A = this chain, B = another copy of it.
């Protein structure tokens, strides 16, 4: 007899499960219900719909061959029955049925199941401050909300916008508002950097500067205390200022939507996500769950983690579909991989950042490299910045982050490392990572290999680096004269600095250092700088070999990374 498969939720994971079940077990009766009107859309495309890059909402709902994924499409092409505006209200696990309400008619119905799939997704977090219910304040919870935002914009009502939260969605929305519509946009973030927890402060400053160059304002380390307005939001009040606005996008994160699962007595993790095993079954083996409402094993830490991402939802959906149809497929978990376009640049990450690694109890250091993304003699190329997070002592690689204008090239390096993180790689796996090579694509010693090499040099105590943030602190306090900035570049590059800051800035090109070693004082902290950090590292070795002790540091990422911060010294 054919089995009844019932799916609650029709955005990402739900449709994937439905279609996969029907392909593997064509006899199954598959019913998918959703409380909304719109199903099976690319939620991650919402910022591009708001920006106008994607011209209509239907494009987010269509297949690559331009068929609208509506109720009829699922019936005809996929053999799946879809119920819109239908809200599941209760799971009766004893009777194996789901009670649901038709939100249009108010009618209540019961749906029996042999296998049930919970694909209820996530709920955006909301600030609980005065005025947060004013109209004009949006969270990004679905395509319907996005359509309202775009209606607001296209009707010409929005000249100023405030985005709250400098995470991925917040930044994508900020770009969408500022870039295509010319809206005066600012971002308010409670932490002291953008993309907190994802990339380091040093890298975040680069991405922030790039966005500032495109007109976005940032108010970091700043807390929203209330919203003000009559009919609609007119002002955002933070602990430091008042910001006039016509629109607020609240993007302070999402949490798993698990009310239904909780009421049914299914096991939840301490932070609230539905617990599933590697076959994506909940604590009730006839009930599967996946996507933004579950917690997954973090393959780096080995602990439960939360990874709300459309791509993971899709892949979990396929695994669930296979298993419901009689298969035995595993979904191991996730290392956490991330990429975002910010105007002309990409920021990407895989695994843990220094911040999250420390939070998870790892003792870590990081290596930072600035290098061209292809052979330096090849005409088209961009500087790329990579940071590797490494466990002290063992040399185990825990994560990687990248930033640069060669967008797909950044994504390529991070994606490559994302793939090996579950194998608990060592630094040497990065040093010898076998990326394909030819000059239009990479360097003979690719930046990824160089990153592993730098990490190894740091771990061996051979390289002693100073990060950009610390450099800036020393630079600000340079009047104390307890530090010498030793520029290892050729005279042409270093000259202007020496002229401007004669008392603290000295130039000895790396190739002359041995001969001129007596010019280097032994009673000061020395910060070695060059363009990207290669020559300053060579210089450091020479100094150490000539008896200079511990107080010698090479600026990671060199002058180019300071320039990327927008720092004009």
- Which A residues are within 8 Å of any B CB, using their own CB? 12, 16, 23-24, 26, 42, 44-45, 48, 53-54, 59-60, 62-65, 67, 73, 76-79, 168, 172, 309-315, 318-319, 329-332, 334-335, 337-341, 346, 348-350, 371-372, 375-379, 406-409, 411-420, 423, 428, 431-446, 449, 453, 462, 489-490, 510-512, 514, 530-532, 534-535, 538, 541-542, 545
Contact = CB atoms under 8 A, between A and B. Distances in A.
B532 A64 contact: yes
A376 B45 CA distance: 10
Between A339, A350, A415, A445, the greatest number of chain B beta carbons within 10 A of the residue's beta carbon is seen for A415
Nearest to A377: B59
A476 B442 CA distance: 42
A44 B441 contact: no
A45 B377 contact: yes
A443 B16 CA distance: 14
Given A12-B444, A67-B490, A315-B432, A45 B437 contact: no
B45 A436 contact: no
Given A309-B437, A445-B315, A408 B412 contact: yes
Q: Could you say which of A332, A435, A438 has the most chain B C-beta atoms within 10 Å of its C-beta?
A: A438
Contacts of A531: 65
B412 A315 contact: no
A348 B319 CA distance: 29
A335 B435 CA distance: 10
Contact of A77 (B12, B73, B309, B510): B510
Which among A413, A418, A436 has the highest number of chain B CB atoms within 10 Å? A436
Nearest to A412: B412
A18 to B, nearest CB: 13
A67 B411 CA distance: 30
A415 B416 contact: yes
A45 B408 contact: no
A420 B420 contact: yes
Given A409-B408, A416-B412, A462-B24, A435 B64 contact: no
Contacts of A311: 434-435, 437, 442-446, 449
A161 to B, nearest CB: 21
Given A315-B431, A377-B45, A418-B416, A438 B77 contact: no
